[in-house]
Structure 1
Amino acid sequence: MTATAIRPRRAVFAPSLFRIEVLRQLRNPFTLVFTLAMPIGMYLIFGGFAEWGDAPMAHGNTKFQVMVSMGAFGTATAMSSLCSLAASEVRQGWGRQIAMTPLPIGGYAATKITAALAFSSLSVAGVFVAGILTGAQADDAWRWIVSAAVILVGGTLFGLWGMGVGMLLNPDSAAALASIAITVFGFIGNVFMPLDGAMLDVARFTPLYGYVSLARWPITDGQLITGQTDPMWAVLLNIVVWAAIFLALALAGVVRSRRRA
């Protein structure tokens, strides 16, 4: 029998690892607070129980806009935190252990990213349920679906951010720093409260601005509460530029980790 014949088949996904990862994060109080409780709480403060929550938007009301913003924030936090943890594990030598199993490092990464997306889905679902219960409205059902899809697909952008931070920084603090940075991006990126003037001009260059604006698009058509309108090309350009920056950061982390190996 040849070596090829006895070589174990390489898996592309590990259901057991996926299940363990999701359960581990459900037992992690830091993850629960920042990715589940905090987005729901901030939605209720800024939208669900706010006096202006029922104010009309282009295709719904303000509660819907705030709901989408907080769903995007929770997803960005979950993706950055969990992907940062995965990158830190590889950096600490976990990749060598994976190499001894039928699961290749690509399958390990795919499993981790899928777990992060699953946890992000919980965050989006929690915020959207809170929105339904408190009167978030959109003119058409498809606007709910498209906004949720944009949130989850676009959230992979912040998975790259988390991977870069996890590869480049101290593993003990990488996940916390990645999540805290997302919160800072949210405050200066027109996510939590409407900005105007010079603050809005600065916000347009921040990582969360384009992502959240695109998620809001089905309800706003690019219109801001301050009366201004963002063109679609500017929103997409923001996303493309930050995707390139985060990808470069992640690749730099991979190169650095290989030099240390």
Structure 2
Amino acid sequence: MTMSISPTMMRIEAMRQIRNPYTLAFTLGMPVAMYLLFGASMDYGAMSAGHGNVKFYVMVSMAAYGTAVAMSSLTSLAATEAKQGWGRQLAMTPLGTAGYAVTKLLTAVAFAALAVLLVFAAGLATGAEASDAWRWWASAGIILGIGLIYGLYGLGVGLFFNSDTAAALASISMTFFAFFGNVFIPLDGVMLDIARFTPLYGFVSLSRWPLNEGLLTTGQTDELWMSGLNVIVWLAVFAVLVVVGVKRSRTRR
């Protein structure tokens, strides 16, 4: 009888990732450091932004970035492990393939939630403010809910590339998307127009919605339907990436 989930494997996987300096630095440490750099340490951090201040605006952005990195990098590792023959190993254990996938996904979600918690804790400690408590919870919920789509991206990357490069490529590409997606620094003009088509733009825009309702620090406004459409389109692109990756990995066998 196969198991749908393994608490033992979840514990082992979590400890393995906690001991991984790469995971600690890029998944957990970097989002906090970026918030402190671009939000808490800046004079403009206390300025008003929507229903809060700029520190809250930056905090939400970095928490969303951390979630995208956690989901994409950890699921890319799961995909590469599966390609390396974990299916044959699982056949000798009570844990089935579905259980293995669920365990890996839950581990990625747990680290994404930890990244959000750490960034929000840093924001709370350094003066990030919102007019109502529910805006904190709403932003965190949107981040963790929509952030699941980057698990698909990680799977696709893991299926296309080998284990030595998949996780690094997933996180590095997310950093690239963040720089050009109006996440790290405010963009304007043509750069902002381009940013609206990038993979992180709609996700981060919706994550900020409880605070600013689409109003950017540059004075421009995002339409709710445009941000939602961006997420839907990239969800479809990531799903296609996974399907193509699965077919490609099967042809290599």
1:221 is matched with which residue?
Answer: 213
Counterparts of 1:108-147 in structure 2, within 5 Å, are: 108-147=100-139
Counterparts of 1:194-233 in structure 2, within 5 Å, are: 194-233=186-225
Q: Provide the C-alpha distance between the structure 2 equivalents of 1:200 and 1:95, rounded to a whole number of angstroms.
A: 44
Quote the offset at 1:99 in angstroms: 2.3
2:157 is matched with which residue?
Answer: 165
Aligned amino acid, residue 212 of structure 1 = V
When the two structures are superposed, what TM-score results if normalisation uses the length of structure 2?
A: 0.98
Quote the offset at 1:121 in angstroms: 1.1
Report Cα offsets for 1:67-87 as digits up to 9, x if no partner: 000001111111111000000
Quote the offset at 1:202 in angstroms: 0.5
Quote the offset at 1:171 in angstroms: 1.7
Quote the offset at 1:155 in angstroms: 1.4
1:104 is matched with which residue?
Answer: 96
Q: Provide the C-alpha distance between the structure 1 equivalents of 2:46 and 2:168, rounded to a whole number of angstroms.
A: 35
Larger Rg: 1
Q: Provide the C-alpha distance between the structure 1 equivalents of 2:236 and 2:106, rounded to a whole number of angstroms.
A: 21
2:32 is matched with which residue?
Answer: 40
Quote the offset at 1:254 in angstroms: 1.4
Identity %: 59
Q: What is the number of equivalent residue pairs in this alignment?
A: 253
Matched, 1:26 2:4: no
Aligned amino acid, residue 193 of structure 2 = D
Unmatched runs of 5 consecutive residues or more in structure 1: 1-8
1:89 is matched with which residue?
Answer: 81
2:234 is matched with which residue?
Answer: 242
Unmatched runs of 5 consecutive residues or more in structure 2: none
2:9 is matched with which residue?
Answer: 17
Report Cα offsets for 1:36-60 as digits up to 9, x if no partner: 1111111011111110001101111
Report Cα offsets for 1:160-194 as digits up to 9, x if no partner: 01000001112211110111000000000000010
Q: Provide the C-alpha distance between the structure 2 equivalents of 1:16 and 1:114, rounded to a whole number of angstroms.
A: 13
When the two structures are superposed, what TM-score results if normalisation uses the length of structure 1?
A: 0.95
Where 1:138 maps in the other structure, the secondary structure is coil
Report Cα offsets for 1:79-130 as digits up to 9, x if no partner: 1110000000001111221122222211111100100010111111110000
Aligned amino acid, residue 41 of structure 1 = A
1:6 is matched with which residue?
Answer: none
Aligned amino acid, residue 139 of structure 1 = S
Where 1:172 maps in the other structure, the secondary structure is coil
Quote the offset at 1:258 in angstroms: 2.2
1:63 is matched with which residue?
Answer: 55
Aligned amino acid, residue 158 of structure 1 = Y
